[in-house]
Amino acid sequence: MTSGGHGTDGVERRGLMFVLSSPSGAGKTTLSRLLIDRMSGLKMSVSATTRPMRPGEVNGKDYTFVDKATFEAMVKADELLEWATVFDNSYGTPRGPVEAALSAGQDVLFDIDWQGTQQLKHKAREDVVSVFILPPSAGDLEKRLHSRAQDSDEVIRKRMSRASHEMSHWAEYDYIVINHDVDEAFAEVQSILKAERLKRERRIGLVGFVRALQAQLQG
């Protein structure tokens, strides 16, 4: 699915799909925003959803907000790379922008649930790097959902009651980060991305680079 771009050292490599999942409120959105602000060559995948817009959210930036009929038409037209029903609403990843970013040599960041992660892995296992974010405690998770102040008490209750089920998928992920402190969790997630960008298997320009080095040494 991915094609090559150039790493910061000039060696061509395949783009990667960097996935963050967690129970609601553990901090994916917070960490995603920091990654997009501070890491070059990384583009956020903007999902389509039928969920109502929260105060402060921007259509086309946080999500593309669509009605159920539009979402169903997108599924039917195979416009979504993956999709799932989460908390009674539909969420999905539009295929076009992801493929365009990967073709342009960028990595793509996804804030999606475990169902979507499974679907991406099924399509392109080698190009998916998945990170599961855990909260330090149930009490912290609940506090964070309340402190975000964007969901009703009933929605928060629903999300808390789903948290254990969401978390039961933790072992399907490549990395686990416990989000005690935002700066520390960000540093950990950033280290994972940096290391994964250097993985030999996705650095398709290395053969040519090493051959050129050898030629220099011989000649």
Ligand X SMILES: Nc1ncnc2c1ncn2[C@@H]1O[C@H](COP(=O)(O)OP(=O)(O)OP(=O)(O)O)[C@@H](O)[C@H]1O
Interface of this chain with ligand X, residues 10 to 29, rule: CB under 6 A: 22, 24-29
Number of residues located near ligand X, criterion CB under 6 A = 14
User: Residue 179 binds what, of ligand LQESDW3C, ligand X, none (CB under 5 to 8 Å, by partner type)?
Assistant: ligand X
The DSSP bridge pattern shows strands 128-134 and 17-21 to be parallel
Q: Quick check: 85 and 48 in contact, CB under 8 A?
A: no
115 binds ligand X (CB under 6 A): no
Strand partners, 18: 109, 129
Nearer to ligand X among residue 87 and residue 201 (C-beta): 87
Is residue 24 marked as binding? yes
What would the two tokens of residue 14 be?
A: 């395949």
135, 26 in Cβ contact below 8 A? yes
Q: Could you give the CA distance from residue 168 to residue 184 in angstroms, rounded to a whole number? A: 24
How do beta strands 4-6 and 12-14 pair?
antiparallel
Q: Scanning residues 30 to 89, which ones bind ligand LQESDW3C (CB under 6 A)?
A: 47, 51, 82, 84, 86-87
From residue 88 to residue 107, the character string flagging contacts with ligand LQESDW3C as x (rule: CB under 6 A) and all else as - is ---xxx--------------
Name the nearest CA neighbour of 106 among 188, 39, 187: 39
Sign of the Cα pseudo-torsion (146, 152, 157, 159, in order): negative
Residues at the site binding ligand X, with contacts judged by CB under 6 A: 22, 24-30, 144, 147-148, 179, 181-182
Q: Which residues are annotated as a binding site for ATP?
A: 22-29
Q: Which residues are annotated as a binding site?
A: 22-29
Residues at the site binding ligand LQESDW3C, with contacts judged by CB under 6 A: 21, 24, 28, 47, 51, 82, 84, 86-87, 91-93, 111-113, 115-116
